[in-house]
Structures are given as structure tokens and as C-alpha cells.
Amino acid sequence: MYHFFLCCIVETGGKYRLSSSRERIVTALDHKEPDRVPIAFGGLHDSIHLIGHRKLKKHFGLDGGEDIIQDPFQQIVFPDDRLLGILHSDIQPVYAKPPGSYTFEYKDEGDIRTYTDEWGTKYKQPKRGGLYFDFAGHILSGKSIDEIKTHPFPDPEKPSRFAGLREKVRNFNDKTDKAIIAYSPTGGVYEHTYWLRGIEESFIDMASNIKALEVLTERILEWMLRFWASYLKEIGDLVQIVQVGDDLGGQDGPLFSPKIYREIYKPKQKKLISLIKKNTDAKIYFHSCGSIYEYIPDLIEIGVDVLNPVQVHAARMESDRLKKEFGKDLSFWGGGADPVKIMSNGSARDVEEEVKRRIDDFGPGGGFVFASIHNIQADVPPGNVAQFFETAYRYGVY
């Protein structure tokens, strides 16, 4: 027996007030104003570090519950359901699983602990004082072009990746009112290149070994096309948002030559997004950290609907500028407050003022999902986290 959450719509003062998180998100991403600015907390790019999660639960007097790791690399969690309610989150993240042939496990190696992902990339974390994992080895580092061509990749279509997924997502749709976002299992074509090859070697390839770069990126794209076709065959009709991305920017601008981006990476991103759009009506959410102002027209051109995390303190990424120049074509997901100056080191009043400013800039006309600028870190005072979301909830009413 199915249980349906119906959106209760009441006209008040010429506006429609929506009670469903799903409708709130969908309305905002259609560039219309729902009852209030939607809030995202708990996804791959807007969750909270394990240590911060424990502090936040203590702040609200919440006992019990598990710390379930969402991403071991970042050490972020799936937040406690009670926190999701307290902080008014409107989203539900979903993932495919690793193949059944892969088993995740931490290993102790002296003063570090490690894990290896399904691709063979190894990660390490200091046992004492370590907050995150860092790269410890890249499976394609030092490999020749022929070796890159023939190195075995995981099976993107393995049925165990998707076993039970449709039932799980249907259950979320039927028994919750949250908007469902389907996350990618990897970084984008650029990011996954350096996860396999190493950051330094990937940049060297751009400068002096372009054939190796072309071979590897073509193989990664082919893997992604096969994965997403299978993934969306299972749940494409059940999700409202699909996440892809590539971290293209640093604090001051692009990480590498725009010429390389437009010749190597952009065409592949376009192919991937085109395939996704053929298999779902969900909005395309593109995650890219840093100052990516120069690339925003490119992203719009290849079919991106939603930009995340909207790093408003990076060069040329001011909230009022982005909304004015790109707000008709893009929705913004993130942009809530400067994570260092305000969230980690500011007062609760600073947080409140910053949140109001971002809502004033991004909110008019819809096209905005309020969230942190990437995940909330371990050093953010829990009182600032509470202030961040409560201000958005109260001030974000249309």
C-alpha cells in the first residue's frame, strides 16, 4: 500500500504557500517563488563533518543515534534525522552502491589509517589530529598511454550497484515529502583524472602529454555514460535533481587554461549532461568549487540548471553579481555564508547578517536553494550552525 504526501496549497495575499519540501524545491528550481527559500542540509556538498555533527547534536541535547559516514574522504555524515527536522532541510540524498565485489574497510598502518576505493586509489589520515583523508597513492601514476588504455576499470553497469535502489527511492517518494537528489559516485571527468593519475601528473599531462590526457578522459567519460544510463534507468523518473560536477576554480580564478577546459573537458561534460537529460526530467546540479565566473556561460551552454556551492567569497563570485548576470538561466544552491570568516570565526550576529544578505541577493524570483558553501567543518561553533539555518528559515519567507 502506498502512502502519498500531498502538497497543501493555500492562497494567502496573492501567493501560494506550499507545505511540501519537494514542491518547494521544484518551484524554486523552476525560477518561481514558493512559500519560503528552500533549505538543503545533509547532501554530499552541504552536510557536516563528523566532529561538527557530534557537537551539533550535543548543542541540541540529542542523545543516541549513529554517526553514519556519507563520504570517508571528507569525513562528512548523513546527519541525524532529528537534526534534519530541527534545521528544516528539504532534501533527501540517494546514491548507487559500490559493486558487490568491493568491500570498504579502514586499515591501521602505524600512525595513519587508510582505505582504498573501488578504483584502486589509496587514501590516508593521521590517527592523531587528522580531520580528513588525503591521497596516498594513484593507480595510474607513472603509467604509459598503452597502460592507461588497458588498465581495468570497475564495471559501471554491475547489477549489485543498483540492487534495491528503485524500491528505496520509491519509498522516499511515498513516505517523505523531501526532494530527492541523486549523487554521482565519482568526481567529474577532470576531477577523476587526477584521482586516478595524481594532481601533479595530471597538470603535467595538460602541458606536455596531451595524448595521455585525452585517452584517460575518454575512458572516464565512457565509464560515466554507461554508469548514468544504468543509474537513471532505475530511478530517473523518481528523482528531482541529478548531481554532476568538476572543481574548476581556485580562489582567484580557473585552475588551468580555459583553452584546455573548452577543448578537452567541456565537450565531455556536454555529452554526459545530454545523456542524463535524455533519461530524466530532473534538474542538472553542477558542483564546482572556487572562482568559476569565467566558466558559467559554458556551463549554461552545456545544459546545467543549478550551480553549487556558489563560493561567494571567491573572485568575481559576488552574490548580487551572479544573480543579476546569470539568474535567468541558473539556479543557485549554496552561497549561504563565508565558511571561514563568518561560519568558523564570526559571531552569531555576523552569521545572521550574512544569511540575510545572501537571501536578499539570491532569493527574489526563486532560483535559490539556501545551503552552506560546501560542507560545514569541524571547527564551526554549533551555535553558528543553528543561527545559520534558523535565520534562513525565518527570514527566507516570500
Domain extents for the chain?
A: 9-99+143-395
Q: What is the pLDDT of residue 220?
A: 99
For the cut 50, the answer to whether the pLDDT of residue 14 exceeds it is: no
**Average pLDDT score over residue span 141-157:** 98
For the stretch 20-54, pLDDT in tens is: 999 999 999 999 999 999 999 999 999 999 999 99
Cα–Cα distance list, 196 to 34, 192, 257 (Å): 42, 6, 21
Give the C-alpha separation, 137 to 304, whole Å.
Answer: 32
For the cut 60, the answer to whether the pLDDT of residue 2 exceeds it is: no
Residue 350's pLDDT band (cuts 50, 70, 90): very high
Give the C-alpha separation, 304 to 298, whole Å.
Answer: 9
Q: What angle do CA 283, 231, 187 make, to 5 degrees?
A: 70
Give the C-alpha separation, 231 to 93, whole Å.
Answer: 14
**Average pLDDT score over residue span 141-161:** 98
Q: 199-208 and 189-197 helices cross at what angle (nearest 10)?
A: 110
Residue 303's pLDDT band (cuts 50, 70, 90): very high
**Average pLDDT score over residue span 111-127:** 98
Give the C-alpha separation, 147 to 181, whole Å.
Answer: 36
Q: What angle do CA 11, 15, 20 make, to 5 degrees?
A: 75
What is the amino acid identity at position 389? F
From the number of C-beta atoms within 10 Å of its C-beta (0-12, 13-18, 19+), residue 104 rates as exposed
Residue 19's pLDDT band (cuts 50, 70, 90): low
For the cut 60, the answer to whether the pLDDT of residue 169 exceeds it is: yes
Residue 351's pLDDT band (cuts 50, 70, 90): very high
Per the CB < 8 A criterion, the answer to whether 238 and 166 are in contact is yes
Per the CB < 8 A criterion, the answer to whether 178 and 158 are in contact is no
Which residues are 69's β-sheet partners?
77
Give the C-alpha separation, 359 to 259, whole Å.
Answer: 35
For the stretch 56-108, pLDDT in tens is: 999 999 999 999 999 999 999 999 999 999 999 999 999 999 999 999 999 99
For the cut 60, the answer to whether the pLDDT of residue 15 exceeds it is: no
DSSP output for 121-179: -EEEEETTT--S-EEEE-TTTT--HHHHHHSPPP-TT-GGGTTTHHHHHHHHHHH--PE
Give the C-alpha separation, 194 to 334, whole Å.
Answer: 25
Residue 1's pLDDT band (cuts 50, 70, 90): very low
Which residues touch 166 (CB under 8 Å, ≥6 apart)? Answer: 234, 235, 238
Give the C-alpha separation, 335 to 388, whole Å.
Answer: 12
Helices (H), 236-337: 258-260, 266-279, 296-301, 319-326
Taking all residues of the chain, what is their mean pLDDT, rounded to a whole number? 96
For the stretch 252-272, pLDDT in tens is: 999 999 999 999 999 999 999
For the stretch 208-244, pLDDT in tens is: 999 999 999 999 999 999 999 999 999 999 999 999 9
Residue 18's pLDDT band (cuts 50, 70, 90): low
Nine cell digits for residue 175 = 513516505
Q: What number does CATH give the domain 9-99+143-395?
A: 3.20.20.210
Q: 50-59 and 382-395 helices cross at what angle (nearest 10)?
A: 70
Nine cell digits for residue 254 = 580557473
For the cut 90, the answer to whether the pLDDT of residue 339 exceeds it is: yes
Per the CB < 8 A criterion, the answer to whether 98 and 49 are in contact is no
Nine cell digits for residue 306 = 543549478
Give the C-alpha separation, 145 to 94, whole Å.
Answer: 35
For the cut 70, the answer to whether the pLDDT of residue 17 exceeds it is: no
CB atoms within 10 A of CB 30: 13
Q: What is the pLDDT of residue 16?
A: 54
Which residues touch 229 (CB under 8 Å, ≥6 apart)? Answer: 157, 275, 279
Q: Cis ω on the peptide bond leading into residue 159 (within 30° of 0)?
A: no
The pTM of the whole model exceeds 0.85: yes
Beta strands in 201-262 (DSSP E): 241-245
